[in-house]
Structure 1
């Protein structure tokens, strides 16, 4: 029996990278997974992989900036599986530019895709969580907790998500709802592009920033921590930030 057996999880940005890995981890531990992404073809592929492996999965097209689109995704989840028990807010655009080149539009884009998207999804799921309790896992970033060159707007939005999460955790605890944040480092299409551009020496230098000397696996390293935060094992933990980054937080 899995840690989230019989639960229904909505994962945003589930079409690739960490979102896809988290979806696989939740499904492997027993959850029915609703995969939401702005690009339907991506989540359709992931849902196909999960159902082929014997898991319950549903792909939905969803733009988290648009509340009506989010409401539609939640309604589809409820129609297919009866409810929503777990919400994983992973979706966000990555428009990474140095601060002196960043525009107000870049900042707005970061906040709309991350903070507003997280806000919309939490609001849409609340009626179901309020009745039976629920689990919310939001995504932060080392770009915010550490500060990374060229990622000011991205990092600012991710820190805003952490602030939102802590405040909502204090309001929703009385309903048995937990709201936690994970700050992950895991393999993704963006990381693969960076890795391919590095010399062997620079790759070693990059990995040396992590005590474990490697980038996390989206399923086994990041996804399983999300499973823990989505399970009854974390029922007395809320408003917290967990780092799944191979120990890099030790240097912050």
Structure 2
């Protein structure tokens, strides 16, 4: 499988969970992977696995909450791979809790790591994506949950990313850049932790998924992203794709 052969994909939060699954799937399609994250050990492990499978990957340590860090990271990726054609914004600090509980500091971390980092990374990669580039931003169905209690700040952060995704798709379409968002449910470490801490809520949540299961980071989420950034999805932009087994109803 080589529909992404010759493409360089920069993926944030690539050391584990959804970002890692996307990295594996894109590498399997022939893309060369720039693994971006804060923890060198996790990036190295993911890089080693991609190479074991016959793919090409390189780790880049970066805190996406630092403006200069993003600029330097993109420069390093371009210098190493001689370009970048795919950007996946996955890294996110999650501000969960009720409105009277979440601190301003926690909310701002969600903004800094989410919509602000997403916008900065898109801007930094823009010159390299022009012509035939593709961006996928990770959002959430938290804003359309049956009960939004405890998810207000998280939903606000992710909805801001959705708005930026749509704007970028409209503003940059003429340059050949496609921009879409995915709203995944996947058994990432954070999801597994939530299930362990809130078993009753998790059980109720799973019952609302028509397909009856939570997605696999690589097979269900990663492979879908591989399609979205390929030429086969060349006429799709500005969309939010719910990779959630049919659970969310966007209206």
Is the structural similarity TM-score above 0.5?
Answer: yes
The whole-number CA distance in structure 2 between the counterparts of 1:135 and 1:34 is 15
Normalized per residue, the structure richer in helix is 1
Q: Is 1:215 the equivalent of 2:211?
A: no
Equivalences for 1:1-252 in 2 at 5 Å? Answer: 1-130=1-130, 132-146=131-145, 148-197=148-197, 204-250=203-249
The whole-number CA distance in structure 2 between the counterparts of 1:104 and 1:144 is 20
Q: TM-score, normalised by structure 1?
A: 0.93
The whole-number CA distance in structure 1 between the counterparts of 2:250 and 2:144 is 11
Shift of 1:159: 0.1
User: Secondary structure of the residue that 1:149 maps to in structure 2?
Assistant: coil
Instruction: Give the stretch that moved more between structures: 141-150 or 69-78.
Output: 141-150
1:70 and 1:124 in contact (8 A); partners too: yes
Shift of 1:144: 2.4
1:106 and 1:153 in contact (8 A); partners too: no
Shift of 1:251: 8.3
2:95 and 2:102 in contact (8 A); partners too: no
Q: Structure 2: which 5+ runs fail to align?
A: none
Give the direction of change, closer, same or farther, for the CA distance of 1:182–1:202 in structure 2 (3 Å limit).
Answer: closer
Instruction: Give the stretch that moved more between structures: 88-97 or 140-149.
Output: 140-149
Deviations 1:117-168 (A, max 9, x none): 10111011011112x3200000110112436321211110100000011111
RMSD: 1.7
Deviations 1:31-80 (A, max 9, x none): 00101001222111111111122110010101112222112221222222
User: Secondary structure of the residue that 2:27 maps to in structure 1?
Assistant: helix
The whole-number CA distance in structure 2 between the counterparts of 1:45 and 1:39 is 10
Shift of 1:232: 0.8
1:65 and 1:120 in contact (8 A); partners too: no
1:142 and 1:148 in contact (8 A); partners too: no
1:4 and 1:231 in contact (8 A); partners too: yes
The whole-number CA distance in structure 2 between the counterparts of 1:62 and 1:213 is 36
Shift of 1:203: 5.5
Shift of 1:96: 1.3
Q: Structure 1: which 5+ runs fail to align?
A: none
Deviations 1:91-117 (A, max 9, x none): 001231211112222221111110111
Q: TM-score, normalised by structure 2?
A: 0.94
Count of aligned residue pairs for this structure pair:
250
1:22 and 1:218 in contact (8 A); partners too: yes
Shift of 1:198: 5.7
